[in-house]
């Protein structure tokens, strides 16, 4: 039990009881950003126990919860989502937003389950990271007027705010790099139910259609196990059926590594006989031999943008939804022949 001083309370009294500096107490009571949530909660509890008069809103800044698809974090794309989480965490701390993270199986992200997750942490807003809400969940968000930001996702009906790479344009640009290098018969290895990935397929097909004599083949992987191993097997099968393909645009860098291993196994020289480009610029792209040509996604920037969008949504709950895209940047590698890399 905390004993209350007989004299008028000062911030120094709170600092002494909480074991922090007076400046830290001052920043928390003013609801300034940059203080860890644990320290903030501790200081507000001490202040309340001592009977210090808190300003309205100081004790409860809007809290948000991030639900992350468990298959994305624990599977091959863990590096991708870790970058997004880093951006979410750093910007939430900077903005003074109370923030929690939970893993969830996307198939079990029902209105009841999501509502229980939010209630358990007292969240007013929700980040869905790598999760496309099912129809029932989307309808619940609309009816309950829950502030939602889709992170690395997009709502085709634009009912919810979202941030993502420009998947159509990024795929178009990646495929154009192969076309500009002289390739006209190009594979695209993909495999996902997500709208973001379908947009990459559209971008690929549009790019191939933009040139004369272009020929595209889309290979959809089952993603039942290891995507790189699946890409390896699918590439061997595709080239055994039609050896005329000379390039591949891959949905991500893990798939590109599988393609690289397959064509090398067939004795084709990369990039002279076969060119490859990936997407995301994950660590495996830099470790491949040769280094993968790819498209860099600034994952941390997606997380930071999502927090800014949530803050805006808290302040303006009735404005129309927005979707923001962050451009992807080509990363040169050794898997596409260029004038500088013959």
Does pLDDT of 35 surpass 80?
no
* Model confidence at 281: pLDDT above 70: yes
Q: Across residues 267-272, what is the average pLDDT? A: 97
| pLDDT tens per residue across span 159-209 | 999 999 999 999 999 999 999 999 999 999 999 889 999 999 999 999 999
Instruction: Indicate whether 2 pLDDT > 70.
Output: no
pLDDT at 55: 60
Highest mean pLDDT among 35-49, 54-68, 93-107, 160-174: 160-174
Mean pLDDT of 269-280: 97
Strongest mean pLDDT among 62-66, 224-228, 333-337:
333-337
Asked whether the predicted pLDDT for residue 5 surpasses 80, the reply is: no
| pLDDT over 60 (residue 77) | no
Residue 312: which region, alpha, beta or left (left: phi > 0; alpha: psi -120 to 50)? alpha
Question: Considering the domain 167-296, what is its CATH architecture?
Answer: 3-Layer(aba) Sandwich (3.40)
Is 251 within 8 Å of 282 (Cβ atoms)? no
Show Cβ contacts of residue 249 under 8 Å, excluding neighbours closer than 6 positions. Answer: 171, 174, 175, 178, 186, 187, 188, 189, 204, 277, 279
For the cut 80, the answer to whether the pLDDT of residue 58 exceeds it is no
Most confident of 29-43, 55-69, 211-225: 211-225
Instruction: Write the secondary structure of the chain as one string of H (helix), E (strand) and C (coil).
Output: CCCCCCCCCCHHHHHHHHCCCHHHHHHHHCCCCCCCHHHHHHHHHHHHHHCCCCCCCCCCCCEEEEEEEHHHHHCCCHHHHHHHHHHHHHHHHHHCCEEEEEEECHHHCCHHHHHHHHHHHCCCEEEEECCCCCHHHHHHHHHHCCCEEEECCCCCCCCCEEEECCHHHHHHHHHHHHHHCCCCEEEEEECCCCHHHHHHHHHHHHHHHCCCCCEEEEEECCCCCCHHHHHHHHHHHHHHHCCCCCEEEECCHHHHHHHHHHHHHCCCCCCCCCEEECCECCHHHHHCCCCCEEEECCHHHHHHHHHHHHHHHHHCCCCCCCEEECCCEEECCCCCCCCCCC
**If you average pLDDT over every residue of the chain, what do you get?**
89
The mean per-residue pLDDT over the stretch 65-89 comes to 80
pLDDT score of 56: 53
The number of angstroms, rounded, from the C-alpha of 323 to the middle of its chain's C-alpha atoms is 14
pLDDT of residue 244: 97
1-60 maps to which CATH number? 1.10.260.40
CA–CA separation, 146 and 114 (whole Å): 11
Q: Is the dihedral of CA 131, 135, 141, 142 positive or negative?
A: positive
Per-residue confidence (pLDDT) for residue 34, from 0 to 100? 65
Q: Domain coordinates of the chain in residue numbers?
A: 1-60, 63-165+299-328, 167-296
pLDDT recorded at residue 225:
83
Residue listed under structure tokens 């922090």: 20
pLDDT for 25 beyond 90:
no
pLDDT of amino acid 1: 45
d(Cα 325, Cα 204) in Å, to the nearest integer? Answer: 18
Residue pair 138/148 in contact by the 8 Å Cβ criterion: no
Cα(229)–Cα(29) distance, rounded to whole angstroms? 54
Residue 210's pLDDT is 96
Structure confidence at residue 342 (pLDDT)? 46
Environment class of residue 321 by beta-carbon count within 10 Å: exposed (0-12), middle (13-18) or buried (19+)?
Answer: middle
42 pLDDT band, cuts 50/70/90, is confident
Q: Which of 30, 87, 108, 31 is nearest to 63 (CA)?
A: 31
pLDDT range class, residue 106, cuts 50, 70, 90:
confident
Which is higher by pLDDT, 2 or 309?
A: 309
With cut-offs at 50, 70 and 90, classify the pLDDT of residue 61: low
What share of the chain in percent tops pLDDT 90? Answer: 68
| CATH class belonging to 63-165+299-328 | alpha beta
pTM of the model: 0.80
pLDDT of residue 59: 47
């Amino acid at each position: 039990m905390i004993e209350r001083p007989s004299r008028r309370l000062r911030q120094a009294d709170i600092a002494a009881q909480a074991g922090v500096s007076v400046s830290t107490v001052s920043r928390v009571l003013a609801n300034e950003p940059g203080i860890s949530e644990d320290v903030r909660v501790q200081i507000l509890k001490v202040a309340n126990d001592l009977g210090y008069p808190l300003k309205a809103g100081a004790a409860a800044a809007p809290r948000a919860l991030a639900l992350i698809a468990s298959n994305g974090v624990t599977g091959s794309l863990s590096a991708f989502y870790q970058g997004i989480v880093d951006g979410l965490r750093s910007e939430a701390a900077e903005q003074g937003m109370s923030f929690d993270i939970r893993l969830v199986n996307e198939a079990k992200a029902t209105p009841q389950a999501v509502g229980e997750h939010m209630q358990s942490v007292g969240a007013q807003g929700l980040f869905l990271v790598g999760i496309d809400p099912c129809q029932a969940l989307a309808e619940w968000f609309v009816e309950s007027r829950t502030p939602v930001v889709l992170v690395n996702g997009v709502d085709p009906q634009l009912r919810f705010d979202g941030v993502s790479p420009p998947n159509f344009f990024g795929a178009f640009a990646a495929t154009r790099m192969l076309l500009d290098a002289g390739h006209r018969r190009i594979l695209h290895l993909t495999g996902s139910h997500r709208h973001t990935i379908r947009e990459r397929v559209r971008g690929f097909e549009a790019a191939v259609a933009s040139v004369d004599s272009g020929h595209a083949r889309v290979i959809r992987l089952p993603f039942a196990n290891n995507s790189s191993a699946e890409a390896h097997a699918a590439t061997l099968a595709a080239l055994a059926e039609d050896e005329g393909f000379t390039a591949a645009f891959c949905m991500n860098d893990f798939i590109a590594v599988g393609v690289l291993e397959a064509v090398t196994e067939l004795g084709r020289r990369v990039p002279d006989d076969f060119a490859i480009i990936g997407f995301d610029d994950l660590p495996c792209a830099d470790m491949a031999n040769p280094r993968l040509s790819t498209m860099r996604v600034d994952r941390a920037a997606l997380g930071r943008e999502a927090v800014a969008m949530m803050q805006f949504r808290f302040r303006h709950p009735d404005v129309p939804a927005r979707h923001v895209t962050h451009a992807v940047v080509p990363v040169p590698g050794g898997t596409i022949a260029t004038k500088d890399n013959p």
